[in-house]
Amino acid sequence: RKEVEQDPGPFNVPEGATVAFNCTYSNSASQSFFWYRQDCRKEPKLLMSVYSSGNEDGRFTAQLNRASQYISLLIRDSKLSDSATYLCVVNKEAGTALIFGKGTTLSVSS
Amino acid sequence: NAGVTQTPKFRVLKTGQSMTLLCAQDMNHEYMYWYRQDPGMGLRLIHYSVGEGTTAKGEVPDGYNVSRLKKQNFLLGLESAAPSQTSVYFCASRRQKSGQFFGPGTRLTVL
């Protein structure tokens, strides 16, 4: 099993749609979880951290399920500007190395 | 604050040449990282550092060396460049338990 696995997509949705991305991780000792977005040929940018109780930031909601080793990102009311690749990031065991999934591509159309 | 900066932004090397990529951060972050990103492969961790004077291997360390002589700088060296090292290299830094901040990347081509 890969350390961090994501559905590559692409997800093609109309403006206003709700879309959800999933990510699974292999190491049960992982403690830190994040979602990043990356625009074409740009550096990744931190979207949000993921907490055990779940957290929300505007139209974005992140969830963590430690038992299933599963992280999700929900985007409500999609905007054209949400088009990007979304990367799931997990720390490697209890250390500080952060491992990235390959990303899920989202395309929002009008 | 400039955040994380990388030098150079672009570089073309011939096989066998050497070079050093410089990463600098002005956020007083303890941890620094070097990644490479190739089409279809995602970001792969090369080396990282948890503090001044310390380094550790990541997923793909072969062919690279690093040094962290000052807290704000993290250097990535290629001693003998190979075409397989053609990639986009990203540096990142962070505090403990926080997310990473990335530099704009260095686009390296090895002919």
Interface contact B98-A98, CB threshold 8 A: no
Per-residue pLDDT in tens (0 to 9) along chain B, 111 residues: 789 999 999 999 999 999 999 999 999 999 999 999 998 778 999 999 999 999 999 989 999 999 999 999 999 999 999 999 999 999 999 988 788 999 999 999 999
The pLDDT value recorded for residue A98 is 85
Say if A75 is an interface residue toward chain B (CB within 8 Å): no
d(CA B47, nearest CA chain A) in Å: 9
Which residue in the set A32, A34, A96 is minimally distant from B48, CB to CB? A96
Can you tell me the distance from the alpha carbon of B26 to that of A24, in angstroms, rounded to the nearest whole number?
33
Arithmetic mean of pLDDT, A2-14: 90
Can you tell me the distance from the alpha carbon of B32 to that of B76, in angstroms, rounded to the nearest whole number?
11
Contact A107, A13 (CB under 8 A): yes
Mutate to test the interface with A, among B89, B102, B106, B107 (most CBs of A within 10 A): B102
pLDDT tens, B59-73? 899 999 999 999 999
User: If you write DSSP's letter for every residue of A38-107 in order, what string do you get?
Assistant: E-TTS--EEEEE--TT-EEETTEEEEEETTTTEEEEEE-S--GGG-EEEEEEEE-TTSS-EEE---EEEE
Can you tell me the distance from the alpha carbon of A99 to that of B11, in angstroms, rounded to the nearest whole number?
26
What band does A29 get if pLDDT is binned at 50, 70 and 90?
A: confident
Q: How many CB atoms lie within 10 A of CB B85?
A: 18
